[in-house]
């Protein structure tokens, strides 16, 4: 019996094919939580930025957790992670612990953000990013299929891996925090002055210079850093020694390093004193101890913890301006650093016994703008080449030069009393862009000791 040939059966659609709605939701999720969330930071890859693999993974993890939630839940979660990512980025850029940065945000009104083009552009981009997210979260992002979840995880991990790879050569330039057991060193330690074991034989002045790092590539920068002190009037009166020292963290970590002889930060000094800090040891021996800072004393709670490390009196921005210093602008508007040495010198001249004075500058805090009474417009006087190739570095050198000039004028005066002077950087200059940032050692700060010739 011959069977009739049957027509072929039509093929059934593949049961593994994903519905269009799933792909649509997945693409929306990928665009918001991977591309949009990191787009502004990804633009920084071209000029350099702190590593952010942790923040990329956080965005992805939170996005997966809330993808089925309501519009407002997703939007608020996106905003919170964005704020965390921005704070972490700034903390990495300035070698700050994120807890320290978050604490200092209460003083943000003290800053003049309008002085920085970088901050204005960054703020505008963040606002645009959030408004875009407000629109995109109205679209569906709640995909269900497990295979798409795997793809989402791979996309997030892939971007985090790319971030790690692109920033590999710059790892030492960001987030410098010491690990337990790191051998301690400081400029005070190397210079072997002010050890606190005996009362001072003469005045001691310690000057911590904001963002003064060690130039490593450009020979002209190296020559310019302490060029003013290669002067006959200075070397006749002082023995001049220079060197470098390891640093960790931000400015407050640098202060604890030099003043307290240990790694750390100021948090544990807010509610308790440290008798092992140099000002405290000297004060216990009857030495007068005074701190100067060209910015607001509320910032980083210096008004609270300076007394806890032994400073009997402190003079901040307002007091220095009342004492005759001019106002200088910038993102951190304060007293003009170039006007402070005369006030310190007058204090030494009025004293009858050796004193300890500490001064923290502020005008070279990055970014350094033009104008604002900083007298940096003509930094060609420092170096025409730096003015052309590295204009902001040139502006920093111009301010350092004006401070050095003012200090040297005071310390070489005939009536300036016997004083040992230590000048030291707090941390490397935390430039936004890689080209400027790599001009300075990522782990060292310079120091210069002027030791009075008996």
CA-wise closest residue to 395 among 70, 60, 115: 115
Tell me the CATH number at 227: 3.40.720.10
Positive or negative torsion for Cα 373, 377, 380, 384? positive
Provide the pLDDT confidence category of residue 15 given band limits of 50, 70 and 90: very low
pLDDT tens digits, residue range 52-101?
Answer: 888 999 999 999 999 999 999 999 999 999 988 888 887 777 776 666 66
| Per-residue pLDDT tens over the stretch 207-226 | 999 999 999 989 999 999 99
Q: What pLDDT, in 10s, does the model give residues 246-273?
A: 999 889 999 999 999 999 989 889 999 9
Both 124 and 167 in one domain: the answer is yes
Q: Give a yes or no: residue 11 inside a domain.
A: no
Residue 442 and residue 410 share a domain: yes
Asked whether residue 197 falls in the same domain as residue 293, the answer is: yes
Q: How many domains does the chain have?
A: 2
Whether 151 and 235 map to the same domain: the answer is: no
Give the pLDDT band (50/70/90) at residue 204. very high
Residues 278-300: pLDDT tens digits? 999 999 999 999 999 999 998 88
Between 2 and 408, whose confidence is greater? 408
Q: How confident is the model at residue 110 (pLDDT cuts 50, 70, 90)?
A: low
Query: Final residue of a domain: which of 119, 147, 173?
Result: 173
CA distances from 435 to 338, 389, 438, 450 (A): 28, 10, 6, 33
Q: Is residue 139 part of a domain?
A: yes
Residue 179 lies in a domain: no
| Residues 201, 245 within the same domain | yes
Same domain membership, residue 398 and residue 268? yes
Residues in CB range of 116: below 8 A, 6 or more apart: 331, 367, 369
Q: How confident is the model at residue 11 (pLDDT cuts 50, 70, 90)?
A: very low
Q: What is the band of 12 on the pLDDT scale with cuts at 50, 70, 90? A: very low
Query: How many angstroms separate the CA atoms of 244 and 176, rounded?
Result: 17
Task: Tell me, yes or no, whether 115 lies in a domain.
Answer: yes
9, part of any domain? no
Q: Domain range for residue 197?
A: 187-452
Q: Is the confidence at residue 4, as pLDDT, over 50?
A: no
* 85 shares its domain with 160: yes
**269 and 406, same structural domain?**
yes
Same domain, 324 and 410: yes
Within a domain: 301: yes
Q: Quick one: pLDDT band at residue 116, thresholds 50, 70, 90? A: low
pLDDT at 177: 65
Where a domain ends, among 173, 199, 233?
173
- Its pTM stands at 0.83
Q: Is residue 12 part of a domain?
A: no
240 and 163 housed in the same domain = no
- Residue 7 domain flag: no
- Indicate if the pLDDT at residue 40 is higher than 90: no
Per residue in 304-347, pLDDT (tens digit) is 999 999 999 999 999 999 999 999 988 889 999 999 999 999 99
Residues 315 and 351 in one domain: yes
Final residue belonging to a domain, choices 140, 173, 206 = 173
Shared-domain flag, residues 359 and 418: yes
User: In sequence order, which residues have a C-beta less than 8 Å from that of residue 145 and are 6 or more positions away?
Assistant: 18, 22
């Amino acid at each position: 019996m011959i069977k009739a040939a049957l027509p072929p059966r039509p093929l059934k659609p593949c049961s593994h094919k994903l519905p269009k709605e799933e792909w649509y939701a997945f693409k929306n999720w990928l665009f918001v939580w991977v591309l949009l969330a990191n787009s502004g930071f990804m633009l920084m890859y071209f000029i350099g930025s702190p590593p952010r693999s942790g923040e990329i993974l956080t965005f992805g993890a939170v996005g997966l957790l809330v993808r089925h939630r309501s519009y407002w839940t997703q939007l608020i979660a996106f905003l919170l992670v964005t704020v965390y990512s921005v704070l972490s980025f700034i903390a990495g850029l300035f070698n700050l612990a994120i807890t320290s940065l978050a604490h200092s945000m209460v003083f943000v009104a003290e800053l003049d953000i309008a002085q920085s083009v970088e901050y204005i552009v960054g703020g505008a981009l963040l606002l645009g990013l959030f408004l875009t997210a407000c629109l995109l979260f109205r679209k569906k992002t709640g995909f269900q299929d497990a295979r798409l979840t795997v793809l989402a995880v791979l996309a997030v991990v892939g971007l985090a891996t790319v971030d790690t790879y692109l920033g590999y050569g710059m790892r030492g330039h960001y987030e410098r925090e010491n690990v337990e057991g790191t051998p301690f060193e400081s400029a005070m330690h190397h210079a072997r002055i002010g050890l606190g074991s005996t009362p001072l034989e003469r005045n001691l002045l310690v000057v911590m210079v904001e963002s003064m790092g060690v130039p490593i590539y450009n020979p002209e920068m190296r020559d310019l850093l302490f060029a003013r002190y290669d002067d006959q009037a200075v070397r006749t009166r002082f023995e001049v020694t220079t060197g470098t020292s390891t640093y960790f963290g931000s400015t407050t970590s640098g202060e604890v390093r030099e003043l307290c002889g240990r790694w750390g930060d100021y948090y544990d000094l807010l509610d308790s004193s440290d008798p092992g800090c140099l000002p405290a040891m000297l004060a216990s021996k009857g030495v007068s101890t005074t701190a100067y800072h060209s910015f607001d004393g509320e910032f980083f709670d210096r008004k609270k913890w300076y007394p806890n490390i032994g400073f009997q009196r402190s003079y901040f921005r307002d007091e220095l301006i009342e004492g005759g210093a001019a106002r200088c602008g910038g993102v951190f508007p304060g007293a003009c650093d170039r006007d402070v040495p005369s006030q310190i010198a007058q204090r030494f001249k009025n004293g009858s016994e050796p004193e300890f004075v500490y001064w923290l500058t502020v005008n070279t805090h990055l970014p350094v703008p033009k104008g604002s009474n900083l007298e940096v417009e003509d930094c060609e006087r420092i170096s025409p080449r730096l003015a052309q190739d590295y204009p902001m570095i040139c502006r920093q050198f111009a301010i350092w030069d004006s401070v050095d000039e003012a200090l040297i004028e005071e310390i070489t005066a005939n009536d300036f009393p016997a004083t040992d002077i230590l000048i030291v950087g707090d941390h490397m200059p935390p430039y936004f862009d890689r080209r400027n940032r790599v001009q300075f050692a990522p782990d060292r700060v310079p120091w210069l000791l002027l030791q009075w010739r008996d």
